[in-house]
Amino acid sequence: MDYLNAFWVGGLICALVQILLDKTKLMPGRIMVLLVCSGALLSAVGIYEPFTKFAGAGASVPLLGFGNILWKGMKDAIDQNGFIGLFMGGFTACAAGVSAALIFSYIASWIFKPKMKE
């Protein structure tokens, strides 16, 4: 049942994003920022944790999950270091994921020879 919940929740998130792309004039970058901010906001309100327990990877893998991790890192760093934690927490919480994305995308660019769109 965990796989089924992850599949349909992740698919629903993707479908909603696709509708935003098709039906609005929002650019993809702005939609991505909207997803990250939504994940952080849902985390701050306390809704995201039960949502992740229900949907698993369907909720934690998309950009909503990135916002959640940013929020958790900032909250923990603020609790430990005070105001300066606001600037440190997001970097430490997301460092591994961002590093992996950069490294793997660089390797993929060697393999697939990307070209600029015209």
Q: Is 112 exposed, middle or buried (0-12, 13-18, 19+ CB in 10 A)?
A: exposed
Q: What is the mean pLDDT of the chain?
A: 87
Give me the pLDDT at residue 107, please: 92
Give me the pLDDT at residue 118, please: 66
- Find, among 85, 53, 55, 56, the residue nearest to 72 by Cα: 85
- List the end-to-end C-alpha distance of the chain, in Å, as a whole number: 44
CB 100 within 8 A of CB 106: no
DSSP letter for each residue of 93-109? HHHHHHHHHHHHHHHHH
Q: What is the pLDDT averaged over residues 17-44?
A: 90
Q: 108 pLDDT exceeds 80?
A: yes
Give the number of other Cβ atoms within 10 Å of residue 91's Cβ.
13
The DSSP output letter for 27 is -
Give me the pLDDT at residue 68, please: 87
Q: What is the pLDDT of residues 45-83, one digit of tens each?
A: 999 889 888 988 888 877 888 888 888 888 888 899 888
Give me the pLDDT at residue 117, please: 63
